[in-house]
Amino acid sequence: MMAVLQRVSHARVEVTGRRVGEIGPGLLVLLCAERGDTEAQSDKLLAKILKLRIFSDADGKMNHNVQNLDGLGQMGGLLVVSQFTLAADASGGNRPSFTAAAGPDEGRRLYDYFVQQARCAHPVVETGEFAADMQVHLINDGPVTIPLRVVPLEGTPR
């Protein structure tokens, strides 16, 4: 599984002009399941996202995570948006291939699993709509953008 995290001061997702998810300070998580990804990879990715220290302390150093934005216990939000295009392969020409992305049913299952686990682990989780034409509005704070990929352990099937 892979994700692109954007540290935001505000983000929202709209579908046909209707707001479906919105957060204040926190992380916009663009999430992609690839063929063969597992729930264990989803769990590992979520754990990394929640612990990743990319929020600034009083000295401007990245020392806080989304579960403790300011070192005083302030929680940030997670806005989780499915984005199969992260699996794009443009090495063969000018039109990207998305064959590495999980199929729609498996992608939805893993996306829903990730969101469910995120809601169990973190109090502020909003989402986009899986497979919808979404407009994502954000104010990238920093800007800080971090790509993450969780690969299976050696010897385990993908």
In three state form, how does the secondary structure of 16-49 look?
CCEEEEEECCEEEEEEECECCCCHHHHHHHHHHH
Q: What is the mean pLDDT of the chain?
A: 95
Query: Residues 70-91: what's their mean pLDDT?
Result: 95
Given the structure tokens 């929640």, which residue do they identify?
A: 50
Which position has the token pair 């709509």?
Answer: 129
The model's confidence at residue 71, banded by pLDDT at 50, 70 and 90, is confident
CATH 3.50.80.10 holds for 2-90+97-146: yes
Whether the pLDDT of residue 158 is over 90: the answer is no
Residues 131-154: tens digit of each pLDDT: 999 999 999 999 999 999 998 655
Contact 135, 14 (CB under 8 A): yes
Q: Which residues are marked as active site? A: 83-85
The yes-or-no verdict on residue 155 having pLDDT over 80 is: no
Instruction: Evaluate if residue 108 carries a pLDDT over 80.
Output: yes
Secondary structure class of 84 (helix, strand, coil): helix
- State whether residue 114 is helix, strand or coil: helix
Q: How far apart are CA 83 and CA 99, in angstroms?
A: 14
Peptide bond into 152 cis (omega under 30): no
Task: Report the largest interatomic distance among the alpha carbons of the chain, rounded to a whole angstrom.
Answer: 50
List the one residue out of 17, 21, 1 whose CA is nearest residue 106. 1
Q: What is the pLDDT of residue 157?
A: 52
The domain locations on the chain are 2-90+97-146
